[in-house]
Structure 1
Amino acid sequence: MNGLALNDAMLLGWALALPALATLAILRLDRWPNIREAVTLIASVLLFAVVMALTTRVLAGARPELHLASVAPGLTLALKIDPLGMLFAAVAATLWIVNSLYSIGYMRGNEEPRQTIFYACFAIAIFATMGLAFSGNLFTLFVFYEILSLSTYPLVTHKQTPAAMRAGRVYLLTLIGASMVLLLPAIVWTGLVAGTLDFRTGGILSGKLGDGALALLFALFVFGAAKAAVMPLHRWLPAAMVAPTPVSALLHAVAVVKAGVFTILKIAVSVFGIETLQTSGASEWLVYVAGFTIIAASVVALHADDLKRRLAYSTIGQLSYIVLAAALASPVAVIGAALHIAAHAVSKITLFFAAGSVYTAEHVTKISQMDGIGRRMPWTMGAFAIGALSMIGLPPTAGFLGKWFILDAATGAANWFAVSVIVVSTVLNAAYFLPILTRAFLRPANGPRQEAPLPMVIALTVTAAGTVLLFIFPSVPFRLASMIVGG
């Protein structure tokens, strides 16, 4: 192994080690909250630096690898970076910084209990996300996927109210149940048929199974990755909204739901292969399931008065754009899906940051209570407006990019069902976001001007700016997305 390869492997190891070490330090610093939170911020910045260094190498053509352990013959914990994993890791590492800053303001502003456990579990979740993003095979992916589920359970149940505990049960039973009953058998079946669990460009299943068996196996993977919230395995996501807003941001933007759609896209590209999915028709059924999820979630969001519930169902619909793209199984669709992972992350975290700021400053949770709030909280609701426009898919916001590529792929394939889903859902997105903005900015303000604590306002301003900058300067995510299908 030459010096450069060794350096790459060391960087890859540090990408996992930093959040793991941060977890231990946070637990030891329970009595010193200022130092504890400084450690969280420092670890997030260091991880960002490591991930950016790795991104530079991947863009230059490197594919860093690191062997962690051999569990049994044919079962190894191994890391290997590819462009899709690099994109996912870059999104998570970037947003950990702003989410940590936001969390400091939120947790202190609302005097939340058990803050040390919160920051520690958050760091473990980032550790799991890095491992998931950099998995070199299905076994490694499964291990980190489960760690992510377990580490986020205490965050969902953070308030420890009866509602939070019920939500936690739904959360854990759905995610662990689906992965054990569906995802794990799919992995075992793949290993038996393909003779390997390694991810490979072009897939490992070509010529191994008939078309019907391929379609069934793909269904096991899709529904087994219940973090993607494809209906009917979606109820855990709105149920989990009882958690503090920084947790909602983790679930919707930084890690959890992105882990679900990343898993589906990764399996489509590196287990089945785009060409195999196209020729076998194994993913055709998923176009209709994803389309139904998009429209149904949008209709539910349209009638939700609770702001976080509306945002939760918006997430369910937006995730299925990515699933729809995977089902279309074309290079253009895959590029669109990858871009939408990044765009949705930065846009949706902005929306949840804004929702948490409104709750912290005004103790408002219902849309019907938001009259004139944009006049009282202009920074917060200005950022919310940018995130909302991105979810609708309007330029100059990042949400336009991925949706445009997915629409282009659907049009190119003459899949008019997919085209109609994208068009109708865009109208529905506007129908449930624009009334919030008109209520916030065009109705009279009742009360003095008041923003949330400064760390929260800084965080949501940064992510709102990122939503626009990602549209203006999309070169890095676009190059990574293009490399997914270009080798």
Structure 2
Amino acid sequence: MITAWTTLLPPAIILSSLLPGLVIFSLREDQVKLRIGLNLFAVILKLCLVGVMLWGVNQGLDFRFAIGFLPGGGLVLQGGATSLQFVTLSSVLWLATTIYAIGYLEDSPLRSRFFGYFSLCVSATVGLALAGNLVTFLLFYELLTLATFPLVVHRGTQKALRAGRVYLAYTLGGGALLLMGIALLHSITGSPEFQAGGYLGPLLDAHRPSLILAFALMISGLGVKAALIPLHGWLPQAMVAPAPVSALLHAVAVVKAGAFGIVRVVYDVYGVEQVQALGLAMPLLALAAATILYGSFKALQQQELKKRLAYSTISQVSYITLGVALMGPIAAVGALAHLVHQGLMKVTLFYCAGNFAETLGIHRINEMNGVGKRMPLTMTAFTLSALGMIGVPPTAGFISKWYLGLGALEVGQDWVLLVLVLSGLLNAAYFLPLIYRGWFAEPPTQWPEEHALGNGRPGLGETHWMLLAPVLFTATLALLAGVLAGSELSPLAWSQLIINRRFGL
């Protein structure tokens, strides 16, 4: 049943961050309290609206907003189980990252510009999550590129500007490929709304070459943001951005937008049966497996902490594509669960890296010796998330990989187990030395560059509370996602609900 409020709720969720963001642009730098108030008001409002939509979907309500402006297509926003999983993740992590960014940028210039684009970035992410067709998805996908570029170059250094140019070249190129693929598909089908099982079945025989080409173009375009090799080159360079931006890029905004787009194209545009009939599943699976191993090998070689985490993202996000490409329901559950699990773990790791850098001047692996004795809570959060990335039971990462492994066996792709095991060993090889250094190595007599942040001091006040609270919050969520995976409210349970509907189980 669609009513006035169910029609208006999807755009309201987007506007709840978009409108405050536009106001924030106009604020002077000294209007600190007003800027903070607007940020927090927008976050809380968005969370409340998302909560209402979650309740409505559970009650069987339909949320749909549409404006036609193209023959056979237009702007369509829909609130369904798949959309809400990504929207909820985005909204919760926006709350944590907003608090973190306020503390991190406390004495920085151009804060109004930063938080303005920050709000636009979240609006674009939520918009593409709620997109009901490819045209709408493309619109918000490109808006996301434009909103994140100023955040990547925020520091204004030569290194930041160079990274921004690389980021823009990759993402605009990817957007062009996605546009061509969507345009080709639109010429055949128009732009119907996303449908569980896809909508291309009747067209398979008559348009086989065009459908294969459109799929390749769209996956290539989405693969840029999803950091599939060889389209990943922008991601390590973007680490020059401030820590809140790095957390946003890796946990929810950019790389997840690409992975989420792949989920939509495979399940809701083409459909599993059509992807298999066109012979597209195995190339996508091989590409995902290669990216997982490549990212892990490259992470092992990095001596800068944020770059090691960046290459880890390249590997970890590709688990989502791997699960989708396996074309079975069990692996698909693991893929969608990992979309949330990886976001919670990776945002925690980048918060921790930001805390180490901002409080003690730690940027490199060899500078982490004994940091757990100086910042025990931050290092505990880092340790739990790193163990999750490795896949140690009962962490969230273990849950994802368990389902991916079972899913590979279900569809007869046993070799994928070797990829998962090898990747897990590589993850251990590049994360365990960090944990060892942090807890057991002798700390230096002087840290590279120690700062007094607020009442920061060793012990419970190890750093500014606005930097510490988000770390503990997201680390706790990541831990609970694994320990309580059997709960009806867990990301795993929500993923099972989505896939049961998709596969008609």
Moved more, 263-272 or 277-286: 277-286
Structure 1 residue aligned with 2:185: 190
1:332-347 aligned at under 5 Å gives the runs 332-347=330-345
Please say if residues 139 and 197 of structure 1, whose CA atoms lie closer than 8 Å, have aligned partners that are also in contact.
Answer: no
SS in structure 2 opposite 1:396? coil
Deviation at 1:260, TM superposition (A): 0.6
Structure 2 residue aligned with 1:223: 220
Structure 2 residue aligned with 1:202: 197
Please say if residues 181 and 213 of structure 2, whose CA atoms lie closer than 8 Å, have aligned partners that are also in contact.
Answer: no
Work out the CA distance in 1 between the residues paired with 2:211 and 2:380.
Answer: 47
Structure 2 residue aligned with 1:45: 44
1:72-471 aligned at under 5 Å gives the runs 72-108=70-106, 111-180=107-176, 182-209=177-204, 214-225=211-222, 226-447=224-445, 449=458, 451-471=462-482
Moved more, 48-57 or 245-254: 48-57
Deviation at 1:283, TM superposition (A): 1.5
Work out the CA distance in 2 between the residues paired with 1:213 and 1:421.
Answer: 32
CA gap 1:214/1:72 in 2 versus in 1, 3 angstroms: closer
Deviation at 1:213, TM superposition (A): 5.1
Work out the CA distance in 2 between the residues paired with 1:253 and 1:25.
Answer: 26
CA gap 1:148/1:41 in 2 versus in 1, 3 angstroms: same
Please say if residues 388 and 397 of structure 2, whose CA atoms lie closer than 8 Å, have aligned partners that are also in contact.
Answer: yes
Alpha-carbon RMSD across the aligned residues, in angstroms, is: 1.6
Please say if residues 82 and 484 of structure 1, whose CA atoms lie closer than 8 Å, have aligned partners that are also in contact.
Answer: no
Work out the CA distance in 2 between the residues paired with 1:386 and 1:83.
Answer: 29
Work out the CA distance in 2 between the residues paired with 1:389 and 1:154.
Answer: 33
Work out the CA distance in 2 between the residues paired with 1:190 and 1:358.
Answer: 47
Work out the CA distance in 2 between the residues paired with 1:63 and 1:305.
Answer: 50
Number of matched residues? 481
For normalisation by structure 1, the TM-score amounts to 0.95
1:78-103 CA-to-partner distances (Å, cap 9, x unmatched) read 10122111100000000000000111
CA gap 1:243/1:48 in 2 versus in 1, 3 angstroms: same
Deviation at 1:215, TM superposition (A): 4.1
Deviation at 1:371, TM superposition (A): 0.5
Moved more, 413-422 or 156-165: 413-422
Structure 2 residue aligned with 1:483: 497
CA gap 1:216/1:14 in 2 versus in 1, 3 angstroms: same
Deviation at 1:27, TM superposition (A): 2.0
Work out the CA distance in 2 between the residues paired with 1:63 and 1:311.
Answer: 39
Moved more, 211-220 or 79-88: 211-220
Deviation at 1:142, TM superposition (A): 0.1
Deviation at 1:419, TM superposition (A): 1.6
Please say if residues 59 and 479 of structure 1, whose CA atoms lie closer than 8 Å, have aligned partners that are also in contact.
Answer: no
Moved more, 397-406 or 95-104: 397-406
Please say if residues 71 and 190 of structure 2, whose CA atoms lie closer than 8 Å, have aligned partners that are also in contact.
Answer: no
Please say if residues 84 and 266 of structure 1, whose CA atoms lie closer than 8 Å, have aligned partners that are also in contact.
Answer: no
AA of the residue aligned to 1:373 = V
SS in structure 2 opposite 1:128? helix
Q: Percent identity?
A: 38
Deviation at 1:28, TM superposition (A): 3.1
Structure 2 residue aligned with 1:62: 61
SS in structure 2 opposite 1:80? strand
Work out the CA distance in 2 between the residues paired with 1:151 and 1:284.
Answer: 34
Work out the CA distance in 1 between the residues paired with 2:154 and 2:260.
Answer: 26
Please say if residues 215 and 283 of structure 1, whose CA atoms lie closer than 8 Å, have aligned partners that are also in contact.
Answer: no
Q: Structure 2: where are the runs of 5+ without partners? A: 446-456
Work out the CA distance in 2 between the residues paired with 1:70 and 1:53.
Answer: 26
Please say if residues 15 and 51 of structure 1, whose CA atoms lie closer than 8 Å, have aligned partners that are also in contact.
Answer: yes
For normalisation by structure 2, the TM-score amounts to 0.92
SS in structure 2 opposite 1:44? helix
Moved more, 339-348 or 192-201: 192-201
Please say if residues 392 and 398 of structure 2, whose CA atoms lie closer than 8 Å, have aligned partners that are also in contact.
Answer: yes
Please say if residues 393 and 426 of structure 1, whose CA atoms lie closer than 8 Å, have aligned partners that are also in contact.
Answer: yes
CA gap 1:46/1:395 in 2 versus in 1, 3 angstroms: farther
